[in-house]
Amino acid sequence: MDPNAVENVLYLADSYKVTHHEQYPEGTTHVYSYFESRGGKFSEVCFFGLQYILKRWLIGPVVNKHMIQEAKNFFAVHFGGQDVFNEKGWNHIVEKHNGYLPLRIMAVPEGTCVPVKNVLFTVENTDPEVPWLTNWFETLLVQVWYPMTVCTSSRAQKGVIAKYMMETAESLDGLPFKLHDFGYRGATSVESAGIGDAAHLVNFVGTDTIAGLQLCRKYYQCPMAGFSIPAAEHSTITTWQKSGEAAAFRNMLERYPTGLVSVVSDSYDVHNAVSNIWGEQLHQLVLDRADKGCLVIRPDSGEPEKIVVEVLELLSEKFPVTTNSKGYRVLPPYLRVIQGDGISYETIGGILEAMKSSGWSAENIVFGTGGALLQKLDRDTQQCAFKCSYVVVNGQPRNVFKSPATDAAKRSKKGRLSLERREDGSIVTVQEGLGSPEKDMLVPVYENGRLLRDYTLDEIRQRAEIDIVTSVKRK
């Protein structure tokens, strides 16, 4: 392991944590902390992404003497010449544990949906010599806020789409493809795009964010977690010039004679493109693909609620629309619309409602979402926090907590925690070690450098499935 690499766990903590080993009470041997969402935008969270963090950073011998020496010199400079670095403590981990971290992590299985204000995972040191180790890893482990929040938001959008499909579509069949990740470019890095997309792929199978596919393959045993189709972008239309827009569209149909193909159609005038190019000039070409493909028209501007209905209405003037068993209008199977502009949890319902009130089924549309899915969120969206709730000092256990006079919402839980499902199915956190281990939903996922559970994306998808789908499937 390259001692200078950022892979060095000694560089994965906030600087102040380098000094914390000197700040616990004398005689402290055991620090036990937990992670929760205290609340926020969604009232329940879909837990996902801890396994990636564990496998990426914490499995096996993650620290050695070289790294310690390198870090010692680094921190001496970083702290202005003061010697605050815990060389002895880290050497102990190398000497006694061969660089395997003496920690235990108990977590709710990935994909489980838990109401906020509940413990989601706990961390504790397994070697009394290194109690400071528990909270060293707060920094890294709390980054689970991101995949968890993306997964939660994506799942909430699945619930909205499913609701409208139940009301206006023949079935829920196309649901897994209804929200497509367009967010790669709007993410802060290739790594974060991959993490966020993986979180989205817990709920859907449509994505253009290739980094997420690689992450799912490497960390969640899923060889191909998502799918896409041939699609135009503005450059592959505008390079034909305005006079050549029809030729550009024709090229798309000829290059991809079968299967789904998406063509962005708002380069100049989407109303003209739909009525005069797709509806007239290329009308026969569109029909010729009827039994072997589907043209997906992509508007990419205008008010989403309005433009979607306008495009559908214009198409109904040129192509045969039917009415499904729910009484809603459906384009012929070789025509669909994809709306990838302005899509978020806040807007998707309004678009589907506008379609419904104009008599259009949700079957007609697929959504693309980018920045809103992968980027328009932060650790506060679900108020994610990591707090110590239990400690042992000179052999005496202590339940600890914070209860700020200036913010009751930041009060933390006390003692050892367990997550229990009551008879009525509700989930609660039992505090102060009063829970019963056999009922605890938290399971050991990591101990002393070894991963104890290796969840596959498939099982996580099943665990995260929304109720509407499971109830329909059960019938």
Ligand X SMILES: O=C1OCCC/C1=C\Nc1ccccc1
State the residues that interact with ligand X by CB under 6 A: 180, 182, 208, 228-229, 231, 262, 296, 298, 338, 340, 368
Within 10 A of 239 (CB to CB), how many other CB atoms are there?
9
**Which CB sits closer to ligand X, 144 or 373?**
373
**Which CB sits closer to ligand X, 293 or 368?**
368
C-beta of residue 382 within 8 angstroms of C-beta of residue 116: yes
**Interhelix angle for 190-200 vs 145-168, to 10°?**
40
Q: Which residue is nearest to ligand X (CB)?
A: 262
CB within 8 A of 188, min separation 6: which ones?
Answer: 375
Beta carbon of residue 305, minimum distance to ligand X (angstroms, whole number): 19
**Which CB sits closer to ligand X, 50 or 231?**
231
Beta carbon of residue 205, minimum distance to ligand X (angstroms, whole number): 12
**Which CB sits closer to ligand X, 252 or 391?**
252
Within 10 A of 308 (CB to CB), how many other CB atoms are there?
24
* Closest by CA position to 365, among listed 177, 219, 183: 177
Beta carbon of residue 340, minimum distance to ligand X (angstroms, whole number): 5
C-beta of residue 302 within 8 angstroms of C-beta of residue 265: no
Location of structure tokens 């499909």: 165
Beta carbon of residue 262, minimum distance to ligand X (angstroms, whole number): 3
**Which CB sits closer to ligand X, 147 or 183?**
183
**Which CB sits closer to ligand X, 42 or 182?**
182
Beta carbon of residue 372, minimum distance to ligand X (angstroms, whole number): 13
Beta carbon of residue 368, minimum distance to ligand X (angstroms, whole number): 6
C-beta of residue 240 within 8 angstroms of C-beta of residue 234: no
**Which CB sits closer to ligand X, 36 or 341?**
341
Beta carbon of residue 147, minimum distance to ligand X (angstroms, whole number): 20
Beta carbon of residue 129, minimum distance to ligand X (angstroms, whole number): 51
CA–CA separation, 81 vs 77, rounded Å? 5
**Which CB sits closer to ligand X, 169 or 338?**
338
CA–CA separation, 86 vs 88, rounded Å? 5
**Which CB sits closer to ligand X, 49 or 340?**
340
Dihedrals phi, psi of 75, to nearest 5 degrees: -70, -30
Q: Is 324 helix (H, G, I), strand (E, B) or coil?
A: coil
CB within 8 A of 45, min separation 6: which ones?
Answer: 37, 113, 114, 116, 120, 148, 149, 152, 382
* Closest by CA position to 263, among listed 250, 276, 272: 250
Which class for 240: exposed (0-12), middle (13-18), buried (19 or more C-beta within 10 A)?
middle
If DSSP states are collapsed to H, E and C, what string results for 389-408? Answer: EEEEECCEEEECCCCCCCCH
Location of structure tokens 């009415």: 323
Beta carbon of residue 235, minimum distance to ligand X (angstroms, whole number): 12
**Which CB sits closer to ligand X, 229 or 393?**
229
**Which CB sits closer to ligand X, 263 or 384?**
263
Look up residue 277 and give its two tokens. 């190019």
Beta carbon of residue 374, minimum distance to ligand X (angstroms, whole number): 11
**What is the Cβ-side half-sphere exposure of residue 90, based on CA atoms within 13 angstroms?**
23
Q: Which alpha helices (DSSP H) does 138-229 contain, by range?
A: 138-141, 145-168, 190-200, 210-219
Beta carbon of residue 377, minimum distance to ligand X (angstroms, whole number): 19
CA–CA separation, 322 vs 333, rounded Å? 10
